[in-house]
Structure 1
Amino acid sequence: MTSPFPPYDQEGGQRPRFGKFGKVPIRVLLPNLVTLLALCSGLTAVRLAIEDRIELALAAIVFAAFLDGVDGRLARALKGTSRFGAELDSLADFVNFGCVPALILYFWGLNEAGSFGWIAALVYAICAALRLARFNVMLDDPNKPPFTADFFTGIPAPAGAITVLLPVYIELLGVPHGGIGTILALIYCVIIGVLMISTVPAWSGKTMGRRVRRDMVLPLFVMVALFFALLASYPWAVLSLCSVLYLALLPVSILRYRKQMAAWRAQNPLPVEAEGK
């Protein structure tokens, strides 16, 4: 008896003939399961926002962002990357970091601005979709300088989702919104959306050393534990600080990118076109 379900094909090739299904290694499935868990977390955040449980909704988004940072690294570590996983990750990112933050902001306070609030939420979500589509296309560009692997073009979707919720963090710290605060949140939402589709080079840290010096292992453990302890104890202050610092460091990232681009162009001059052409 043949299975009623189509076979999972990690390479996106054609279906095996005669119903002979090959076995898929667990190491290939694990990253996809993490991605699905992140998607569940993001969708749950929408329900929590509708129920006016904003704090739990924000926690769900942060958890989804954490899982998004884990699934890709897990896939590379287990050598379980696949086209299926890449497509699933991209779709999950659009939902988690495009649609969900926009809806949270709208239910939180942008709805007080009427149609303008909904338009701002739409702009942010659309910018997230465009940013992810551009990212997938640029992966296939063979002419990129090597150093560009250390930079995103525009701020990435997870960072956009965390930073765009800054007005919510500020209110949870005790600053009420409403009136001019709602208008500022609306403008800020659009600005973050524009930054995602901009050409601003945002440092990614992907090419940081993959190995840690032996004498730095224990201090690294302490720093990570301290960060998560602070995040658990003072979540809104930590998220607000991280959002502000991330945006404040964008000019530094731009200067670093331009400096490296100038050095690369000096070493790789463009060929001079023949005169008259």
Structure 2
Amino acid sequence: MSDFFAPFAPDPNEPRRRRFKPVPFRVIAPNLITLLALCLGLTAIRLGYEGRLELAVYAILVAAVLDALDGRVARLLKGTSRFGAELDSLADFVNFGVAPALVLFSFTLQDAGGVGWAAALVFAIASCLRLARFNVALEDPHRPEWQKNYFVGMPAPAGALAALLPIYLYFLGVPTNEEVASPFNLAYVVAIAFMMVSTVPTYSGKTLGKQVPRERVLPLFVGAVALTALVLSFPFAMLSIVVLIYLATIPVGVQRYRRLGSENAQADADAASAREAAAAPQDPAA
């Protein structure tokens, strides 16, 4: 029996078995971008409570830019995964729900006491509900193709950047009366929260720029450089203008959404009538 348990030296040339399969870097890269955005969102909370609001806004802004990049990088590298999608949702809740709510609370909402904290909670929870609804909508196989160009409600990144408008105006030196500004800021933050969980359609812009006419390429480059220079030179002025334009164009998007809905409903009705006419039995006498 001792032969069965005789000691032996392992073969040094024998390949070691891997416990886990290697993960391609093209799958890891988008998740690294998401984690970097999450670090910026958490850092924005710290900066907000340290009173460094300007840096807190910059951190949330860069997190929004990275959030727009991680999904595109994943699709470009063909590295999309269910893990990445779940991680992106959790990071978005922190970056565009928790971080803006706490930064706004440290800036202005705390002046309203418990009501201000309730407004911060409403904003954070609205962001969470909005992201949950977005994840469910992605799995809807019956959603018409034209509706994919629109979000249901205001997306979380846009809601976060829009909610920070009182901070932008503060850094622009807009004169405000604290007795008036605090209730206005509270009502504004709650309104943005309800916009995120509403069913108001907002244009997504996902299909914008997929095909650019050749004659517009150079003007596009010049415009992008000019816009970048303006944002770097006048960040809070440009952020204020962008937010106000975005809010002003929401009714235009709603009107266009309804028009497209009517057109597609009519087209579906015409197609159904044509199918019924083709399926109807033909009169032999005719």
Superposition TM-score, scaled by structure 1 size: 0.89
User: CA-to-partner distance for each residue in 1:135-176, whole Å, 9 max, x for gaps?
Assistant: 001111111111001000001000000000001111111124
Match of 1:87 in 2: 86
Task: Give, as a single letter, the amino acid of the residue that structure 1 aligns with 2:101.
Answer: A
* Bigger Cα displacement from structure 2, 45-54 vs 174-183: 174-183
User: CA-to-partner distance for each residue in 1:66-111, whole Å, 9 max, x for gaps?
Assistant: 0000000110111110000000000000000000000010000110
Contact kept, 8 Å, 1:44 with 1:57, in 2: the verdict is: yes
Mapped to 2, the partners of 1:228 and 1:185 lie a distance apart of 29
Mapped to 2, the partners of 1:102 and 1:176 lie a distance apart of 23
Match of 2:229 in 1: 229
**1:179 paired to 2:179:** yes
Match of 1:11 in 2: none
Q: Which has the higher helix share?
A: 2
User: CA-to-partner distance for each residue in 1:208-258, whole Å, 9 max, x for gaps?
Assistant: 241323332222121111111111111111000001000000000001100
Q: How many angstroms does 1:20 deviate by?
A: 3.2
**1:39 paired to 2:34:** no
Task: Give, as a single letter, the amino acid of the residue that structure 2 aligns with 1:210.
Answer: K
Contact kept, 8 Å, 1:145 with 1:264, in 2: the verdict is: no
Q: How many angstroms does 1:195 deviate by?
A: 0.2
**1:253 paired to 2:253:** yes
- Count of equivalent residues: 255
Match of 1:111 in 2: 110
What secondary structure does 2:210 align onto?
Answer: coil
What secondary structure does 2:139 align onto?
Answer: coil
What secondary structure does 1:152 align onto?
Answer: strand
**1:154 paired to 2:148:** no
**1:66 paired to 2:65:** yes
Match of 1:217 in 2: 217
Q: How many angstroms does 1:266 deviate by?
A: 0.6
Mapped to 1, the partners of 2:272 and 2:121 lie a distance apart of 44
Task: Give, as a single letter, the amino acid of the residue that structure 2 aligns with 1:235.
Answer: P
* Bigger Cα displacement from structure 2, 65-74 vs 176-185: 176-185
**1:166 paired to 2:168:** no
Task: Give, as a single letter, the amino acid of the residue that structure 2 aligns with 1:251.
Answer: P
Mapped to 2, the partners of 1:229 and 1:100 lie a distance apart of 27
Contact kept, 8 Å, 1:27 with 1:79, in 2: the verdict is: yes
Contact kept, 8 Å, 1:149 with 1:207, in 2: the verdict is: no
Mapped to 2, the partners of 1:88 and 1:184 lie a distance apart of 35
Q: How many angstroms does 1:271 deviate by?
A: 7.6
Structure 1, unmatched stretches of 5+, are 1-17, 273-277
Superposition TM-score, scaled by structure 2 size: 0.86
Task: Give, as a single letter, the amino acid of the residue that structure 2 aligns with 1:111.
Answer: Q
User: CA-to-partner distance for each residue in 1:167-203, whole Å, 9 max, x for gaps?
Assistant: 1111111124521101000000000000000001000
Match of 1:208 in 2: 208
**Bigger Rg, structure 1 or 2:** 2
Q: How many angstroms does 1:23 deviate by?
A: 1.2
